[in-house]
């Protein structure tokens, strides 16, 4: 396992390290000027008016649910093919996630199926830009506007992506990003909510700071001790140490996205006419940022199942992974919300076939060649 090429990996350089060290020598380790600088930089990069930094992508989802007014009994539509945090955030606010099936070739929310799940208790829709490809936002926006629902984008895979020339960050009422090390840029742990709505932004600023109206730095500047807690909140703050790292990482993001797209092109070419594996479909007029490169196995042409193919590739040094076990199949959701097999059949079938191949900007051309050769070799061995 020593030489395993991972499916994702951060890229930290000396500039990043220096940025962090500079903050450690400064007055503000948290609630300082780096937080605002990072927020402004992300807002500008994605084209949104407001950005609020929080301690993780999960905290960002929770804050988005709070701003969207999710309460006990409210239903929120979430795709089944996602990380559990997407659905968990609904539950944090007392809401009920309603799982929606995905399209078989993109694994993105199927708008037709989404429409059918709306009822009077539905309050919001979460779109997950799976693998780094934006959802069909025009269709989703039509549905949410028509039914007076809040549209939340879980864009943890899609920082820098575009749909019909419009940036992710401008396509929903609230958009959420993650800065976990496997994502496009990292702050160790970290997240961000962006929005054009000033009230949402203010609610989230309060929510990340115990529900308190002003932060420590603002009170210090104003020379006062007084503050008010208006609602229940959390400590979901992101530190200046982390924001300095994020700012430094952000400068490299455009080049990293280009590199991810270059790697994807090589995979696309290699698997274009392959009878054993198929890449996910990419919509026209989409700028896909490839957090993941996912293939689907053509099990009809193979003697082995996905588990066997997975371990063969791991043994060959390829750190393949599976994204995701459909959320509605986890024991917690089965037990607490009565979900189970059969409610999202497309996601369930896809789950048996998907593999994520290594995809990160520091991968070399030789790494890509090695992955392609290993996939082709393992498929030949298991050919039916």
Ligand X SMILES: *Cc1c(COP(=O)(O)O)cnc(C)c1O
Q: Binding segment for ligand X among 50-58, 99-107, 109-117, 138-146 (CB under 6 A)?
A: 50-58
Pairing outcome for strands 286-287 and 277-279: unpaired
* DSSP output for 62-77: HHHHHHTT--TT-EEE
Provide, rounded to whole angstroms, the least separation between the CB of residue 353 and ligand X.
Answer: 20
Both tokens assigned to 58: 């999960």
Q: Binding segment for ligand X among 56-64, 234-242, 281-289, 349-357 (CB under 6 A)?
A: 56-64
Provide, rounded to whole angstroms, the least separation between the CB of residue 83 and ligand X.
Answer: 4
Q: If binding is defined by CB under 6 A, does position 133 make contact with ligand X? A: no
Q: If binding is defined by CB under 6 A, does position 154 make contact with ligand X? A: yes
| Active centre residues (catalytic) | 183
Give dist(CA 214, CA 206) in Å, integer. 8
Give dist(CA 336, CA 318) in Å, integer. 36
Q: If binding is defined by CB under 6 A, does position 38 make contact with ligand X? A: no
Q: If binding is defined by CB under 6 A, does position 111 make contact with ligand X? A: no
Provide, rounded to whole angstroms, the least separation between the CB of residue 97 and ligand X.
Answer: 13
How many residues of this chain interact with ligand X, rule: CB under 6 A? 14
Pairing outcome for strands 122-128 and 150-154: parallel
Both tokens assigned to 235: 């400590």
Q: If binding is defined by CB under 6 A, does position 128 make contact with ligand X? A: yes
In the list 62, 75, 162, 180, the residue contacting ligand X (rule: CB under 6 A) is: 180
In the list 191, 246, 319, 326, the residue contacting ligand X (rule: CB under 6 A) is: 191
In the list 85, 153, 168, 309, the residue contacting ligand X (rule: CB under 6 A) is: 85
Considering beta carbons, is residue 178 or 195 the nearer one to ligand X?
178
Q: If binding is defined by CB under 6 A, does position 99 make contact with ligand X? A: no
Provide, rounded to whole angstroms, the least separation between the CB of residue 82 and ligand X.
Answer: 5
- Reading across the β-sheet that carries 174-178, which strands appear in turn? 50-54, 191-195, 174-178, 150-154, 122-128, 75-79, 96-100
Both tokens assigned to 105: 């070739």
Q: If binding is defined by CB under 6 A, does position 156 make contact with ligand X? A: yes
Cβ 353 vs Cβ 362: under 8 Å:
no
Strand spans (E) along the chain: 50-54, 75-79, 96-100, 122-128, 150-154, 162-163, 166-167, 174-178, 191-195, 277-279, 286-287, 293-297, 354-357
CA-based nearest residue to 196, from 85, 62, 67, 77 = 67
Q: If binding is defined by CB under 6 A, does position 58 make contact with ligand X? A: yes
Cβ 128 vs Cβ 79: under 8 Å:
yes
227 by DSSP, 3-state: which? coil
Q: Binding segment for ligand X among 54-62, 137-145, 201-209, 313-321 (CB under 6 A)?
A: 54-62
* Cβ contacts of 54 within 8 Å, gap of 6 or more: 60, 63, 190, 191, 192, 193, 204, 208, 236, 237, 238
Provide, rounded to whole angstroms, the least separation between the CB of residue 153 and ligand X.
Answer: 10
Q: Quick check: bond before 300 cis, omega within 30?
A: no
Q: If binding is defined by CB under 6 A, does position 86 make contact with ligand X? A: yes
Q: Binding segment for ligand X among 55-63, 224-232, 300-308, 310-318 (CB under 6 A)?
A: 55-63
Provide, rounded to whole angstroms, the least separation between the CB of residue 173 and ligand X.
Answer: 17
Q: If binding is defined by CB under 6 A, does position 178 make contact with ligand X? A: yes
Q: If binding is defined by CB under 6 A, does position 56 make contact with ligand X? A: yes
Provide, rounded to whole angstroms, the least separation between the CB of residue 246 and ligand X.
Answer: 12
Q: Binding segment for ligand X among 151-159, 238-246, 273-281, 333-341 (CB under 6 A)?
A: 151-159
Contacts to ligand X by CB under 6 A: 56-58, 82-83, 85-86, 128, 154, 156-157, 178, 180, 191
């Amino acid at each position: 396992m020593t030489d395993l090429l991972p499916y994702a990996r951060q890229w930290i350089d000396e500039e990043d390290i220096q940025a962090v060290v500079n903050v450690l020598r400064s007055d503000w380790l948290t609630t300082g000027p780096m937080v605002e600088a990072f927020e402004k930089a992300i807002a500008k990069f994605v084209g949104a008016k407001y950005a609020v930094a929080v301690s993780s992508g999960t905290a960002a989802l929770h804050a988005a649910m709070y701003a969207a007014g999710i309460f006990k009994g409210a239903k929120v539509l979430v795709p089944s093919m996602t990380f559990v945090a997407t659905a968990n955030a609904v539950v944090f606010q007392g809401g009920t996630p309603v799982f929606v099936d995905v399209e078989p070739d993109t694994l993105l929310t199927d708008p037709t199926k989404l429409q059918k799940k709306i009822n009077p208790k539905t309050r919001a829709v979460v779109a997950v830009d799976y693998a780094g490809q934006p959802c069909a936002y025009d269709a989703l926006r039509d549905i949410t506007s028509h039914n007076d629902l809040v549209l939340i984008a879980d864009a943890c895979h899609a920082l820098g992506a575009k749909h019909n020339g419009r940036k992710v960050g401008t396509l929903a009422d609230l958009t959420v990003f993650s800065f976990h090390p496997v994502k496009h840029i990292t702050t160790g742990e970290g997240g961000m909510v962006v929005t054009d709505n000033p009230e949402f932004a203010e609610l989230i600023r309060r929510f990340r700071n115990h529900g308190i109206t002003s932060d420590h730095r603002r009170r210090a500047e104003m020379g006062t001790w007084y503050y008010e807690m208006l609602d229940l909140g959390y400590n979901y703050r992101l530190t200046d140490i982390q924001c300095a790292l994020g700012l430094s990482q952000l400068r490299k993001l455009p080049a990293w996205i280009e590199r991810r797209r270059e790697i994807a092109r090589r995979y696309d070419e290699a698997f274009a006419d392959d009878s054993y594996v198929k890449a996910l479909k990419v919509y026209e007029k989409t700028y896909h940022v490839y957090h993941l490169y996912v293939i689907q196995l053509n099990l009809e042409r193979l003697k082995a199942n996905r588990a066997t193919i997975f371990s063969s590739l791991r043994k060959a040094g390829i750190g393949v992974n599976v994204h995701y076990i459909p959320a509605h199949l986890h024991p917690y959701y089965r037990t607490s919300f009565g979900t189970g097999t059969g409610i999202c059949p497309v996601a369930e079938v896809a789950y048996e076939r998907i593999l994520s191949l290594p995809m990160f900007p520091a991968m070399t051309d030789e790494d890509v060649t090695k992955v392609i050769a290993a996939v082709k070799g393992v498929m030949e061995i298991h050919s039916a």
